[in-house]
A and B are shown apart, each in its own frame.
Chain A
Amino acid sequence: MTTVQQQETLALNGDEAVALAAKQSDVDVVAAYPITPQTIIVERFSEYVADGEVETEFVCTESEHSALTACLAASATGVRTFTATASAGLALMHEILYVTSGCRAPVVMAITNRALSAPINIHCDHSDSMAERDSSWIQLYVENSQEAYDTIIQAFRIAEHTKVLLPIMVCLDAFFLSHTLENVKTLPDKKVKDFVGTRQIPLVMGHEGKKVPFKLDPKNPITIGPLALQDYYFEHKRQQEEAMRNASGIISEINDLYSQLSGRKYGNGLTDPYFLEDADIATICVGSTAGTTKYVVDNLRSRGIKAGLLRLRTLRPLPTSDIVSALASTKAVAVMDRSHSFGGYGGPLFHEIRHVLYDTQPHPHVVNYIYGLGGRDMPQNDIQDIYIDLQKIQQNNAVENYVNFVRVRE
């Protein structure tokens, strides 16, 4: 039995927690560009550099496009890389997101989820990262700053795992987490460094007829990023899908290993169910809304209502069987989307969850609530109202409105 490490509690906001975790993870190259509400991350990090607390090369690029490119190229050279962005910054990176995963560069990126323009808005919603679900990046969503800290540390091990080799987004809610002070338990530098370890580079068959390290190394030259046409492109993409599938197991494994060190565990790493064993009604969400929802669930439970919550920690790879089993007892569930797919049938999480439940018999009624766009608050009462709606659906065994917009004025 390993004993849980002694930890220091610091008052940190989410951004500071992320910066500290990145610092302790012995990152070689950080390339970033400032954007609210991520800026504190790069500010803190550049202070670590200025004070000589890290050996990291900090590249303050002229755009997010170049920030991610520099991370990708540095990662391909064989080192550990980190960046952070939000909203428009992530949208500007869009092209390079696909190139990064396609080149199998395990870049770790913090996203402080922020609304997309127009109108311009700096506050929280999930439109930015939800738009990148298909980019072959692993996506983890955190509930609080403690989890942001813990997840960044885990992210390096997941991304760099030789069975995975995919980039990761660790998503935290703008302002609700990024700018809100919280008590965060932090591990000693050395413990984190040892946990993350040095980056492992797998061998790959190059063009000189031998297996060589998968990195840009003058001793063993390889070519990365070629032109692959109809004859091979598809095989590369299928390989990426396999890496995603491998990632599920690795995320769980590292969640377990980390809990042995820190005493903290987030469900099985993929989903974080709350009072779901016997739940009749449940909501499903990602991010900080889960915190408020847990409070509401506690209240409902104290009144004898069988309410539960499924917090999705990992959106990519989508933990399909965990979602099915977690919702097995439910009669009606509400999917909470903090972003919308305009003209589609509800928001992106709704698509995912409803789709996963299609083959289960009998499956619960699945409805959608679009909420909190542009940082609009989602107070307990509104969450409670959703559970009341679900009770009605359960009682009537019928749904009136599948897609609902919460607290938007007519």
Chain B
Amino acid sequence: MTLPSWKFTAKEIVKKPELFTSGHRACAGCGPAIALRQIMKATRGPTIVTNATGCMEVVSTIYPYTAWKVPWIHTAFENVAANASGIEAALKAMKRKEMYKGTIDVIAFAGDGGTFDIGIQALSGAAERGHDFLYVLYDNEAYMNTGIQRSGGTPHGASTTTSPAGKVIPGKTQFKKPIADIMVAHEIPYVATASIAYWQDVLMKARKGLEVEGPAFLHVFAPCPRGWRYDTSKTVEIARLAVETCVFPLWEAVNGNYSLSPQSKIAALKPDRKKPVIDYLKMQRRFRHLFNPSFEHERIVIQERIDKRWGKLLKKCDMA
């Protein structure tokens, strides 16, 4: 099954009102803020948003201010999918009582901590129950709000404040949890990965997620200048490089059928265009220690793991 593709033109998007507005207090150059702005531009009508505790919750609603032009609720860290479940159930009950007409969409935003780690139970439960909502994971690969601690979404080798690069340990020793694949295994109708470097792809996938009946999961790669230690101007560049190096390939799975998205197809069809991971690593000071001779091996391990995952993905997409 294929879903219709929505074409979003820049002309139309810049005219669309900001539902996530200026005046939020995210750091300069914040990748997740870009993700939220882009996704809110993909809405198709009345929408209720719920946020897990995390960077985007904190920066957007510092009392008495709010950056949201849609109804918005935050309750706790680990339960955003349960918020969405409750909102969706309430909407169904209200619809039955004819308290409103038409469709109201529900979007849940959570970071990597709120998704890979503490929020996975509520997410898994909501997916199994089949609530109709779009779950957006804005992945900046660590607990940034609390000061850059490692999460299940932190990549191998990254130095964080709880997986610091030391004399003998080269940053995080574990690999990133394949969260989007885990969501595909839930047999939900729509799962996709996206990178803020490709806004049209982000918007299109968000819209698809809203259009499908049932749970949709969108994993958005959203670099963090503070946590990843790079210059604020490089956020989008790094988000692009992650795709070009296949560190974060773009794909979607409609009813469990994987297909590569155009930006990642390039690397599949022309393997020489696939950039080495080192290009990506060297731009970020969270990986700086990997360039010490003593940790050279780690760079090889990382490249191998990325290639292995890429190979597996190509198989799933029938492109091996």
Contact = CB atoms under 8 A, between A and B. Distances in A.
Interface stretch (A34-42, A67-75, A146-154): A67-75
A227 B82 contact: no
Contact of B86 (A73, A219, A225): A73
A66 B82 CA distance: 5
Contacts of B66: 207, 223, 226
Residue picked from A74, A99, A219, most chain B C-beta under 10 Å: A74
List the 8 shortest-distance A-B pairs measured between CB atoms, nearest first. A62-B125, A73-B86, A218-B46, A70-B86, A226-B61, A77-B90, A66-B82, A69-B82
A65 interface: yes
A270 to B, nearest CB: 30
B74 A73 contact: no
Q: How large is the interface on B (under 10, 10 to 19, 20 to 34, 35 or more residues)?
A: 35 or more
A216 B87 contact: yes
Nearest to A99: B75
A99 B90 CA distance: 18
Nearest to A28: B93
Contacts of A81: 86, 90
Interface string A216-237: 1111111111111101100000
B129 A59 contact: yes
Given A61-B85, A227-B57, A78 B90 contact: yes
Interface string B73-86: 11110110111111
A79 B83 contact: no
Nearest to A219: B46
14 contacts: A29-B93, A55-B96, A55-B97, A57-B93, A62-B125, A63-B121, A65-B82, A70-B89, A72-B75, A218-B70, A221-B69, A226-B62, A227-B61, A229-B63
Nearest to A220: B71
B68 interface: yes
B76 A96 contact: yes
A225 B61 CA distance: 8
B308 interface: no
Contacts of A224: 72-74
A34 B58 CA distance: 34
Contacts of A60: 129
A231 B72 CA distance: 22
B122 interface: yes
A73 B84 contact: yes
Nearest to B51: A225
Contact of A232 (B58, B63, B92, B128): B63
B34 interface: no
Contacts of A103: 73, 75
Contact of A225 (B74, B93, B97): B74
B73 A225 contact: yes
Nearest to A207: B66
A236 to B, nearest CB: 9
Nearest to A57: B89
